[in-house]
Amino acid sequence: MTSVLRDAKRLVVKVGSGLVTNQGQGLDRAALSRWAEQIAQLRHSGYEVVLVSSGAIAEGMQRLGWKKRPHALHELQAAAAVGQMGLIEVYESCFRKHNLLTSQILLTHEDLADRKRYLNARSTLRTLLALDVVPIINENDTVASDEIRFGDNDTLAALVTNLIEADVLVILTDQAGLYDKDPRKDPAAKLVAEAKAGDPQLESMAGGAGSPIGLGGMRTKVLAAKRAARSGAHTVIASGREDKVLLRLVQGERIGTQIIAESATLAARKQWLADHLQVRGQIVLDAGAVKALRIDGKSLLPIGVHEAAGDFERGEVVSCLDEARREIARGLINYSASETRRILRTPSSEIEAKLGYVDEPELIHRDNLVLL
């Protein structure tokens, strides 16, 4: 099988902190120039490319003379504010050499959790691509709190892939790809050339965190591939140090690890629901309600729910858990947390007797629910 990029037209390319900053030694201008040259060639060949780039905090640390990544949120935000200037300045100059305009987009999860802002972000990105502009995206670390952070740019890249319905997510890292064991510890480790998105074995192969500069280890890349597959996008994890890696991939060469999306593509509204990283509460379903959702394709009724946790309001996103506390779905709930607790185990015909009114017979309507 050839590279999944060969027939792709819209790509999201993510480069990590270690590559952008040469393992924390300051921005690697030569590397950024090489990626700009490759993306320029892709654009001139008709590909649409969005670049998700780490490196702002690492560059800020270097400019501020900090040797270790700080833990205090306000110091991380300060480093991001300083580093973002240098990061975008270098990217802009690199792309300008190829007569390409760039744009800077800084996102938090809050931007994508709100339906209106989600649609605005999608429209803006699509417009920029139509104008032949290369969007450069990073997490808005300057204002993001722990509650609204993506946590790593692998996750952000996957969400952007879903947002613009890209064909392929390319994650460039300092490793050759995904190995069946940790190649830093086991010389017998073998590169996984191809796998299926969502295969539980991939997560066990991926192990833990990566370098001290960035936050994204190989596990976050595997989870990003799983998330990207929800919109039908394949993922390639490859070394960013490979010569002309992007151009060789689109020419059909197999490099790194291909993670294939095999599941049906979620509709746009349900994709938005699935992409919520933070939910406002949890409800626990009995076996009958789980079957009604998974097998019968029905809405969730209050009679099938026996526990509610959290402080959510009507219209907010909640997780649906089975009795083993595994998340099976999430959706927009029709009643607040206090109302939900009052109508647990209640037939829909008795909601009005319990509350004095009835908004909807369902706790979550099927159209506002996505299975996970």
pLDDT at residue 4, as a whole number: 86
Residue 234: how many CB atoms within 10 A of its CB?
23
Ordered alpha helix ranges (H), the chain: 17-20, 29-44, 56-64, 73-96, 109-113, 115-130, 153-164, 200-206, 218-228, 245-250, 268-274, 287-294, 337-342, 351-355
> In this structure, are strands 281-285 and 369-371 parallel, antiparallel, or unpaired?
unpaired
Domains of the chain by residue range: 10-270, 279-371
Residue 284's DSSP bridge partners are 307, 321
The distance of Cα 33 from the centroid of its chain, to the nearest Å, equals 25
Token duo for residue 182: 């940790």
CATH code of the domain occupying 10-270? 3.40.1160.10
pLDDT digit of tens for each residue in the chain (372 aa)? Answer: 677 888 889 999 999 888 888 766 678 999 999 999 999 999 999 999 999 998 888 888 888 988 888 888 889 889 889 999 999 999 999 999 999 999 999 998 888 888 888 889 999 999 999 999 999 999 887 766 554 456 678 999 999 999 999 999 999 998 899 888 777 777 888 899 999 998 888 877 766 544 443 344 788 899 899 989 988 999 999 999 999 999 999 999 999 999 999 877 888 778 888 887 778 899 999 999 999 999 999 999 999 999 999 999 998 899 999 999 999 999 999 999 999 999 999 999 999 999 999 888 999 999 889 998
Residue 202 DSSP symbol: H
> In this structure, are strands 257-260 and 281-285 parallel, antiparallel, or unpaired?
unpaired
279-371 belongs to CATH 2.30.130.10 = yes
pLDDT at residue 264, as a whole number: 75
**119 three-class SS:** helix
pLDDT at residue 207, as a whole number: 63
pLDDT at residue 270, as a whole number: 83
**pTM (2 d.p.):** 0.81
**46 three-class SS:** coil
Residue 90: how many CB atoms within 10 A of its CB?
19
